């Protein structure tokens, strides 16, 4: 139960998640993100409080706006997609990156905002066989 967790534990969990999260509120303002120092999609401090539209590239903005509008209306609760992202400009190395938008709703289903979750899934794509709990790395 989340109520039993201290703010310190919740913050530590949020920063430790193996996924980048950016959160916007019901008024489309960026209200937080995690993993500031090692993000695939860097968020400058000036993004805090900004309209999310200022944080997305023009070529995808119309689609992001449609996703958020659908979430506000209740037509959808999530949208997921994946891209090949250059992770090393020197070598041109690309990784598969999964991106998911999820609506945040209260217990009555009222829209509170949205979170964008980004995960570099390249290492998972390369897994083979099994590695069991406590097997050596």
Nearest to 33 by CA among 126, 113, 121, 131: 113
Tell me what pLDDT residue 49 has: 93
Model confidence pLDDT, tens digit, residues 107-130: 999 999 999 999 999 999 999 999
Q: What is the largest CA-CA distance in the chain?
A: 49
Q: What is the pTM of this model?
A: 0.86
pLDDT at 1 over 70: no
- The pLDDT of residue 125 is 93
**Domains, the chain, with CATH or none:** 2-125 (3.30.450.20)
Residue 77 · residue 65 · CB < 8 Å: no
Q: How much is the pLDDT for 66?
A: 96
E-assigned strand segments in 36-92: 78-88
Q: Is residue 95 within 8 Å of 125, Cβ to Cβ?
A: no
Tens-place pLDDT, residues 81-99: 999 999 999 999 999 999 9
């Amino acid at each position: 139960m989340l109520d039993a967790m201290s703010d310190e534990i919740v913050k530590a969990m949020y920063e430790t998640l193996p996924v980048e999260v950016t959160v916007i509120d019901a008024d489309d303002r960026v209200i937080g993100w995690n993993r500031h120092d090692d993000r695939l999609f860097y968020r400058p401090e000036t993004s805090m409080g900004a309209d999310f539209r200022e944080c997305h590239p023009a070529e995808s903005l119309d689609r992001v706006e449609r996703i958020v509008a659908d979430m506000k209306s209740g037509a959808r609760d999530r949208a997921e997609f994946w891209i090949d992202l250059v992770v090393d400009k020197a070598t041109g190395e690309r990784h598969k990156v999964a991106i998911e938008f999820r609506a945040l709703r209260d217990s009555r289903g009222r829209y509170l905002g949205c979170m964008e979750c980004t995960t570099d899934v390249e290492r998972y794509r390369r897994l083979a066989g099994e590695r069991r709990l406590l097997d050596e790395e």
